[in-house]
Every structure is written in C-alpha cells, then in structure tokens.
Amino acid sequence: MSDRQSHWQNVYSTKTEDEVSWFQETPAPSLDLLALAGTGKDSAIIDIGGGTSRLVDRLLAEGYADLTVLDLSPAALETARARLGNAGERVTWIADDATRWQPARQYDIWHDRAAFHFLTAPEDQQAYVERLRGGLRIGGHAIIGTFAVDGPEKCSGLPVSRHSAETLAAILGPGFERLDTRRHEHATPWGSIQKFQFSTFRRSA
C-alpha cells in the first residue's frame, strides 16, 4: 500500500462522513455541471476520488444507470456501498490510485471533485492526465473541481496544488476544449468557507 493510499485509508477508517471538510449533503455544483454537459441517464459516469461522496446516491435516485466510483481508500468505498444498501450493487466500485489505474473502458463523463488538487508533483499530474485520456471518450466531458488559486493551501494535513481554469487547461494539454469555469464557496461541516473552482472540458481529440 502506498503512502498516499495509507493516508486516505486511515482518514476514512477513523472519521465519519461529516467529520471531513469536503462533506456535502447535496452535491449541487456537480449536479449542475453534469446537466450542463448534457449527461443522459445512460451516460457512463466515473467519479474520481469519490470516497463517501453522496453524488452517487443522487445519480442513482435520478435514474442514472452506468456509474463507477474510484477511490484510493477501500474503507471509503465500503462506507458508501453500505449506505446505499441494495442500490450499491448497481455501481462499479474501484479501489485504486488515479495515477496508476489502467482504465478498462471509456466513459462519457469524468467527474473529479477535489482529488486532482492533491497531486502536487508534475509527474503525478501527467500520470493522471494519461489515465484521463485513456478513460474519456472523444466528445466526452471532464468536470474537475479543485481549490481555487485563493483557496486553502492544505487539506487533510496534505499540501495541495491550487488551480485556475488556465492552469488546468495547460496541464491537460491539447485536445481538451474548456466549456465552462465557475467558482464555488464550499461550507465545511464546521462552518468555514473553502474557495473552489470547477472547470468543464470536452475532449476533442
């Protein structure tokens, strides 16, 4: 188990859902951006770093049929799966590192809320982009949410890489057309505000 995986396994093994800063009762920004991307009920959606996020609950409830959640922590995935009960059997759960995982298929939607910004080394960022290129079909959409340039410098005790739409586009490289960028102020369970940016890209080549 890598140091990165050990860290997140410990976090999700020792804290409840609402004891982590990224907890959202309703993932409104993600739902809005999925609608913007024209996501259909049969679209293949993967949630990168989904952890215990409730996005999958909402998508199942709204009738989306092809859902995958990838996270470093098996404990996080087990928590989410248990929360969903029988509905969790309709989701593909993958415990893996988004910089090492080898996609076995392509998706229509690649959604990442707050996983990419933990990749601070250029080689890890490029490894992630290689997986994104392998896992997102031409014409598909990547929705990537990170801390904004004026957002927190650390999260969960780890340094993060803060981004603008421009820095994300530069890392993704050619073949990704930016469709939308918006800011979001996330309120943590204890009431502090974290500044995010969400950028949506269409894979064009």
Q: What pTM was estimated for this model as a whole?
A: 0.93
> Length of the chain, please?
205
pLDDT band at 77 (very low <50, low <70, confident <90, very high): very high
CB neighbours (10 Å) of residue 204? Answer: 10
Mean pLDDT of the region 83-104 = 97
Looking at residue 19, its pLDDT comes to: 65
Looking at residue 64, its pLDDT comes to: 97
In this predicted structure, the answer to whether residue 175 has a pLDDT above a threshold of 70 is yes
Q: What pLDDT, in 10s, does the model give residues 98-123?
A: 999 999 999 999 999 999 999 999 99
Looking at residue 56, its pLDDT comes to: 97
pLDDT band at 8 (very low <50, low <70, confident <90, very high): low
CA–CA separation, 43 and 113 (whole Å): 18
Looking at residue 5, its pLDDT comes to: 65
- CATH superfamily of the 3-11+25-203 domain: Vaccinia Virus protein VP39 (3.40.50.150)
Q: What pLDDT, in 10s, does the model give residues 148-173?
A: 999 999 987 889 999 999 999 999 99
- How far is the CA of 106 from the CAs of 77, 121, 140, 165, in angstroms? 21, 26, 9, 24
Q: Where are the domains of the chain?
A: 3-11+25-203
**Nearest to residue 69, comparing CAs of 25, 20, 21, 30?**
30
